[in-house]
Amino acid sequence: MKINDLTSQTNKLLGKNKQQVSTPSPSNGKEKTRDTLEISSNVKAMEALRAKVLNAADNSERVAAIKEQIASGTYEMDSKKLAEIMLKND
């Protein structure tokens, strides 16, 4: 996953779709005041995005193992599989 994608998704989620919930607060005078609380309607999307970021960090161990294999000359890859992935992403 690209960092730019995560950043743009986060900015979209943080900037939009907020709901306001008002609750009455105690008042000593005749005027009633209300407390206001803003709750994002995209909490689930933010939580999914957070999970993606945390999972990306888990790949660091895999990347380190592959780097070690490359350095020692023991890394083997399936060239057909690589070609399929490259053509699929094109």
Distance CA 17, CA 32 (A): 28
For the record, the structure tokens of 3 come out as: 């960092």
- For residue 40, give its domain range: 3-24+32-89
Give the sign of the dihedral formed by CA 50, CA 56, CA 61, CA 64.
negative
What digits encode the pLDDT tens for the residues 33-47?
A: 888 877 666 777 888
32: three-class secondary structure by DSSP: coil
CA-CA-CA-CA dihedral for 52, 53, 54, 58, to nearest 10: 90
- Judge whether 74 and 66 are in contact, CB under 8 Å: no
What digits encode the pLDDT tens for the residues 34-87?
A: 888 776 667 778 888 888 887 776 778 888 999 999 999 999 989 999 999 999
What is the average pLDDT value for the chain, to the nearest integer?
75
- Judge whether 74 and 65 are in contact, CB under 8 Å: no
Q: What total of structural domains would you count in the chain?
A: 1
